[in-house]
Amino acid sequence: MDTDEWPQYLITFADRTGAEHAGTTVLAPGLREAAVDQWWFLRKHPAWRIRLPPHTPGSATKAVERLLADATAAGHAVGWKRGIYEPETLAFGGPGGIAIAHRLAHADSVHALDYLGVGSALADVHANVGRREIALLLAAALLRGAHLEWFERGDVWAKVAQLRPLKSPPSVGPEQREKTRMLLGADITRLTAAGQVLSPADDWLTAFHAAGQALAGLNTAGQLQRGLRAVLTHHILFAWNRLGLTATDQNALSRLATAAVMHDPEDDEPSPVLSVATTTVTEVNHPMTPTKTNDTAKQLREALVDQLVANGTVRTPAIEAALRATPRHLFVPDFDLAEAYKDDAVYTKQDANGVSISAASQPTIVAMMLEQLQAQSGQSILELGAGTGYNAALLATLVGPFGRITTIDVDQDIVDGARSRLLATGHANVDVILGDGAVGYPDNAPYDQIIATVGAWDLPAAWVQQLAPDGRLVVPLRLRGSVSRSIVFRRDGDILRSTNSQMSTFMPLRGGIADDPRRVVHLTSDGSVQLQLNQEQTTDTDRLAGVLDTPAREVWTGVTMAGQESFEYLDLWLTCTLPGAFSRMPVHPEAARAGIVRPQFGWGSWATASEGNLAYLTLRPTEIDGQRVHEIGVIGHGPGGAQQADQVAAQIKTWSQDYRGHDVEFAIAPHGTALTGQFVFDEPNNQLAITWQ
């Protein structure tokens, strides 16, 4: 067989039930034992199709064929034969799209069979969350990852329904429609947190979200050869096939989802209800419903603010009142209520490469920065980064009718949208300005307070010049590498000194004189492991090619972290002390499962790179006095990877022994000003001093 051909195995079964049992108990574990790097399956009764990529090693294909022969001999299958798979390249959007489809198909196949089987954590999920519910959640993650607006998602659901028609479909009733709407807007981050019902499905849902993001990136780059929504529809149909949903179920689910998105509640009138038991979503378990179906926007908002007060984020009565009074959903009108009022960022605009460039920030971060700012009645405040206008509305409420807010953004559409929403919600004391945030807005200066809701590396001189002598500046400052903090600065002569700082990361300034561009380095050929580098990090990225293919050096530090203990000050110490600073290294779940890397967290690891070497953090569980903790380790790669791992490990020990639990102060002053500190870094306009107390 030609080595460029895709092997396909057609396994025939006596019936559907036997096929699924064999798939979960024989084929899935057998394929794992055969060490096949990438495989996926589809159902085509009475057969299943198992597909492998070209250039699959002969040893792997032979192992698969032995597996199928043994399964047939044992009576698990009627028979099997080898054939050729012809990829549906155009249907999935072209060469780039089919590559994404194959990655997702593999991840989905592995997880789906675990979910449908017995004895795994995902099988436990199946006991609580039926396959119809998980089908909707997976598809919703795909559409959310693709940055589709709410009604664009409705169009995809309608396309699925059109491709799975029924001659006499039952009516959709309001109760099931609203349950479906809640399911589609469920807070997946909360539901997949440790100990929650969907925690074991985190990687599965992440794979769908990542595929949606990748497809959106191809689309904005003009590299998708078919409409994005049509491609997403194709993905949903294939995923639902792997889950074993019948055509009737697929029609019912997609029609329910379409109705949930497109229906206007004011049009409700009694109608026959689609049967829950046979053709539609089963009763949604309590952990799966983030709100009751009759929750209003006000009730959702109250619940969100209650949460922020309970966890200590909101401590000031005026800030609590502003959050309760300001309708966030009106500032993100293209998103449903559940998304508007969950504690998560809402991404509202992407650039040509599919990278998010504007958002309504996570409510926790919004509240935290308002607590840092402490806006007072009658003040004049400058906000850098208008975004949706929601933060300006909160500020306008805090300063009252005798105060004034000036907010700036760089894009006309963002400015127009923020201005119209602020006027529509009655916030007349806000000037929304089109311009470069880095130059501020001198016409309304001086400002009692300045707050940046965009990330900055270095402070633009205009911000300092336009700040009143006793004013307060709150800015999410990228300090070095990927490490950022939201810092409150007050004047001390020619020096700005911190009075408070909190961990945070924001989208960077763009479109002006203080842009902070970021490079993304692919550490694997498929981009499943990446390294984020910033402008001051001058690492020769060409020397990192193939670095993960070199032998690994593993060093364990003896330093442990307990429970929810934050790594933020360790990250800060390492970015200050390491020559290459400290960077985020995002890792796709497939790369972790394949053993390419052993990341520190679900999203990836913190890492440092210099002179062609890479070292990143990892963790392993252990116990101290009966308490479960995690020991920090370092894994190094490259010609000097062992030495770099040792260097990082030594700094981790130094931090733990000498600086753990200590406060940190920050100071900024123009070049030429006498500035001292434990670490002093030169930036374009200023010096930055960082000192552990």
Q: What is the CA radius of gyration of the chain?
A: 27
Say how far residue 319 (Cα) sits from the centre of its chain.
Answer: 28
Which among 615, 686, 680 has a CA at the least distance from the CA of 649?
A: 615
Which among 50, 67, 64, 58 has a CA at the least distance from the CA of 11?
A: 50
Which among 394, 431, 399 has a CA at the least distance from the CA of 415?
A: 431
With beta carbons less than 8 A apart as the criterion, state whether 302 and 326 touch.
Answer: no
Q: In angstroms, rounded to a whole number, what is the distance separating the alpha carbons of residues 431 and 600?
A: 44
Helix or strand (DSSP H, E) at 33: helix 28-33
Work out whether strand 346-350 and strand 356-360 pair parallel, antiparallel, or are unpaired: antiparallel
Q: In angstroms, rounded to a whole number, what is the distance separating the alpha carbons of residues 452 and 474?
A: 6
Q: In angstroms, rounded to a whole number, what is the distance separating the alpha carbons of residues 621 and 641?
A: 24
Q: In angstroms, rounded to a whole number, what is the distance separating the alpha carbons of residues 71 and 47?
A: 14
Structure-block tokens of residue 549: 């293919």
Measured between alpha carbons, how far is residue 620 from residues 173, 196, 617, 633 in Å? Answer: 50, 22, 11, 8
**Phi first, then psi: what are they for 395, rounded to 5°?**
-65, -40
**Phi first, then psi: what are they for 684, rounded to 5°?**
-55, -45
HSE toward the beta carbon, residue 378, CA cutoff 13 A: 0
Strand partners, 689: 667, 680
First-last CA distance in the chain? 69
Residue 610 falls in the annotated catalytic set? no
Work out whether strand 430-434 and strand 447-452 pair parallel, antiparallel, or are unpaired: unpaired
With beta carbons less than 8 A apart as the criterion, state whether 519 and 508 touch.
Answer: no
Q: In angstroms, rounded to a whole number, what is the distance separating the alpha carbons of residues 561 and 288?
A: 31
Side chain identity at 369, as an amino acid letter?
A: M
Measured between alpha carbons, how far is residue 165 from residues 146, 157, 161, 249, 650 in Å? Answer: 25, 12, 6, 11, 63
Work out whether strand 356-360 and strand 483-492 pair parallel, antiparallel, or are unpaired: unpaired
With beta carbons less than 8 A apart as the criterion, state whether 406 and 433 touch.
Answer: yes
Side chain identity at 390, as an amino acid letter?
A: Y
**Phi first, then psi: what are they for 78, rounded to 5°?**
-80, -35
CB atoms within 10 A of CB 151: 11
DSSP string, 282-330: PPPPGGG-SS-TT--HHHHHHHHHHHHHHTTS---HHHHHHHHHS-GGG
With beta carbons less than 8 A apart as the criterion, state whether 308 and 323 touch.
Answer: yes
Each residue of 71-104: b (16+ CB within 10 Å) or e?
bbeeebbeebeeeebeeebebbbbebbbbbbbbb
Contacts of 325 by beta carbon, 8 Å cutoff, 6+ apart: 397
Instruction: Indicate the length of the chain as a whole number.
Output: 693
Helix axes 202-220 and 228-243, enclosed angle (nearest 10)? 160
Catalytic residue among 109, 254, 358, 501: 358
Active site members: 358
